[in-house]
A and B are shown apart, each in its own frame.
Chain A
Amino acid sequence: MSTARHSPARSIAAHAVLATYTVIALFPVFVIVVNAFKSRKAIFRTPLEFPNAETFSLVGFETVLKQGDFLLYFQNSFVVTVVSLFMVLLFGAMAAFALAEYRFKGNSLMGLYLALGIMIPIRLGTVAILQMMAASGLVNTLTSLILVYTAQGLPLAIFILSEFMRQVSDDLKNAGRIDGLSEYRIFFRLVLPLVRPAMATVAVFTMIPIWNDLWFPLILAPAEATKTITLGAQVFIGQFVTNWNAVLAALSLAILPVLILYLIFSRQLIRGITSGAVK
């Protein structure tokens, strides 16, 4: 290859810029997590050092576990995220299959209708959503959150999945039909397994905004029993502003599960984004 494209100076400069930005990206997370394991004195005296035998302290985590019901918040977030995710994937894939596979009157109109929600945020309907949930007695239930997040996740899921389902070979499906498989079996047995990678991508895209959302938990389910971890952390920190150990520990507890999940799935996520999402 030509030398023009990679001279050492250029490569050093590239590394310098990327490394600098990596530090900027990670620094806040680092400071929070490191200081969560220190005594109050050390937090203020040596905020940039790792905890050592002298400064190590778990007092913040103790406060968090005693005062806030974080285990319950985790459970709520987990239930909401997993159930919504399951519904988005199942219903989204079904609708995507119908749009990609069959020619019927109004197909493209239906596709357009379902795609509206990609550009128009569901939050704008909040006033009416709250009234509807209040009328049906769903305020302060996890069900209300699950319904909202399912509706929120469906448009993008259908859009991405139908692109992928168009690529599934027709011969395969027709072979199935000749063998007498019903359309349902063709979908569940033949097509779904083939679009698994796309499903994983959609899953990651759907999951992150649900787990991190503050708006709908705040409005639809602010009760103690239904708080999600994001709302729980927000409220807890608001109450314990001056207790630095507790605040830092609460933040770390909220960061760690997402971070671990991300490190496990980051390849999948990045492959998903980079595989033709922008075409």
Chain B
Amino acid sequence: MAQAVKKPFRWHIAVFLAPAVLIYTAIMIIPLFSTLQLAMFSDVNNSQVFVGLKNFRTLFDDPRWSEQFWNALKNNTWFFIIHMLVQNPIGILLAALLSSPRLRLRVFYRTAIFIPTILSFVIAGFAWKLILSPLWGVAPNLLDLVGLKSLFQPWLGKEAYALTTLALISVWQFVGIPMMLIYAALLSIPDELLEAAECDGITGMSQFWKVKLPLILPAIGIISILTFVGNFNAFDLIYATQGALAGPDFSTDILGTFMFRTFFGFQLQLGDPNLGAAIATAMFGIILIGVSIYLFGIQRRLRRYQF
């Protein structure tokens, strides 16, 4: 459209946008970038000095820090793998069952299974800590009922099991989200399509694998990336149950708790905001890589069907 006369400036657009853009920019975007910037400075005699990538070298190479960093990254990756392997399949299974036609009590199941998701990490963490506690004995007694008492271990206290146990607690808490999103995706599959499949003799399990699953792949993709971002940003559950030291012996340390400890210091060690910022930058990089892989690698290849 060729416009000879310039339109007057439309103030209302600015007024509508201003509050949100200002708060978002001031509290989110600017701090995010100044954190990235802080990561390249260091405190020398109480003044901030530009040191380039030195903090990252410390983080990745200096044995005092790198050991903890790689440990946290490894634990965080395991935390994520457990979520992908346990949370999402359970979520899909529950959603598939919930969406089966003429199911009674559907609303009840849906509401009940989502309850853990609305609780805070602190509550979920402590509830499970108490239940798994050998002192109280709820878990051993329950195992006794099915004759498996010998299997009981103080899971949260053993290095070998603690991280996996925490990941499973987190799965318990968040399974509601994949369940709901997949359930929504399954509901949006038109009946005609399923009826057509039935006419072709595809029913039951094979109908799920051959017809429904390909249709809900985009939803599974979204869930995976949400899980990824959530997991590499996690902190509360570990802090609430195991404390800032992420015991036993750092076996449950993930990037969030590592950043918190580094930033604020713990026990005798002083906090180091610059190194904390460097860890945040590393997390930023990891999340960015994950999101890019999803946006450019996975999401584009998923075929979307319009009904």
Q: How many A-B contacts at CB < 8 Å in the complex? A: 272
Dominant SS at the B interface?
helix
**A212 interfacial contact with B, CB 8 Å:** yes
**A25 interfacial contact with B, CB 8 Å:** yes
Asked if B23 and A47 sit within 8 Å, CB to CB, the answer is: no
List A contacts of B302 (CB < 8 A): none
Contact with B along A254-274 (1 / 0, CB 8 A): 110011001100100110011
Asked if A123 and B123 sit within 8 Å, CB to CB, the answer is: no
| Interface positions of A from 95 to 146, Cβ below 8 Å from B | 95, 97-99, 102, 104, 110, 114, 116-117, 119-129, 131-132
Dominant SS at the A interface?
helix
**A65 interfacial contact with B, CB 8 Å:** no
Asked if A214 and B240 sit within 8 Å, CB to CB, the answer is: yes
List B contacts of A275 (CB < 8 A): 184
Asked if B28 and A91 sit within 8 Å, CB to CB, the answer is: no
List B contacts of A263 (CB < 8 A): 111
Closest to A151 in B: B27
| Interface positions of B from 261 to 278, Cβ below 8 Å from A | 263-264, 273, 276-277
Asked if B13 and A98 sit within 8 Å, CB to CB, the answer is: yes
Contact with A along B230-265 (1 / 0, CB 8 A): 000101100110000000000000001001000110
Closest CB in chain A relative to B192 CB, distance in Å? 13
Contact with A along B185-202 (1 / 0, CB 8 A): 101100000000010000
Identify A25's interface contact among B126, B172, B259, B284, CB under 8 A: B172
**B86 interfacial contact with A, CB 8 Å:** no
Asked if B109 and A274 sit within 8 Å, CB to CB, the answer is: no
A2-B198, A5-B101, A273-B181 given as contacts; is B277 within 8 A of A128 (CB)? yes
Asked if A126 and B10 sit within 8 Å, CB to CB, the answer is: no
List B contacts of A78 (CB < 8 A): none
Closest CB in chain B relative to A157 CB, distance in Å? 9
Asked if B12 and A183 sit within 8 Å, CB to CB, the answer is: yes
Among B24, B181, B259, B281, residue most surrounded by chain A Cβ atoms (within 10 Å): B24
A11-B103, A184-B12 given as contacts; is B280 within 8 A of A94 (CB)? no
List A contacts of B211 (CB < 8 A): none
List B contacts of A219 (CB < 8 A): 264
Q: State how many residues of chain A have any CB contact under 8 Å with chain B.
A: 97
Identify A278's interface contact among B100, B126, B222, B256, CB under 8 A: B222
Identify B32's interface contact among A43, A95, A124, CB under 8 A: A124
Closest to A121 in B: B233
| Interface positions of B from 106 to 124, Cβ below 8 Å from A | 108-116, 118-124
A31-B138, A151-B28 given as contacts; is B23 within 8 A of A91 (CB)? yes
List B contacts of A123 (CB < 8 A): 233, 235, 256, 280
Q: How far is the CA of A44 from the CA of B291 in the complex (A)?
A: 47
Identify A154's interface contact among B23, B110, B115, B256, CB under 8 A: B23
**A226 interfacial contact with B, CB 8 Å:** no
**B82 interfacial contact with A, CB 8 Å:** no
**A244 interfacial contact with B, CB 8 Å:** yes
Q: State how many residues of chain B have any CB contact under 8 Å with chain A.
A: 94
| Interface positions of A from 148 to 176, Cβ below 8 Å from B | 148, 150-152, 154-155, 158
Among B12, B17, B218, residue most surrounded by chain A Cβ atoms (within 10 Å): B17
Asked if B28 and A94 sit within 8 Å, CB to CB, the answer is: no
**A234 interfacial contact with B, CB 8 Å:** yes
Identify B126's interface contact among A14, A187, A251, CB under 8 A: A251
List B contacts of A21 (CB < 8 A): 90, 94, 109, 113
Which 4 A-B residue pairs are closest in the complex by CB-CB distance?
A: A212-B120, A125-B31, A151-B27, A95-B20
- Give B residues with C-beta under 8 Å from A: 10, 12-13, 15-17, 19-21, 23-24, 26-32, 34-35, 38, 90, 93-94, 97-98, 100-105, 108-116, 118-124, 126-128, 130-131, 136-138, 141, 172, 175-176, 180-181, 183-185, 187-188, 198, 203-204, 218-219, 222, 225, 229, 233, 235-236, 239-240, 256, 259, 263-264, 273, 276-277, 280-281, 283-284, 287-288, 291
- Give A residues with C-beta under 8 Å from B: 1-2, 4-6, 10-11, 14-15, 17-19, 21-22, 24-26, 28-29, 31-32, 43-44, 47-48, 87, 90-92, 94-95, 97-99, 102, 104, 110, 114, 116-117, 119-129, 131-132, 147-148, 150-152, 154-155, 158, 182-184, 187, 208, 211-215, 218-219, 230, 233-234, 237, 244, 247-248, 251, 254-255, 258-259, 262-263, 266, 269-270, 273-279
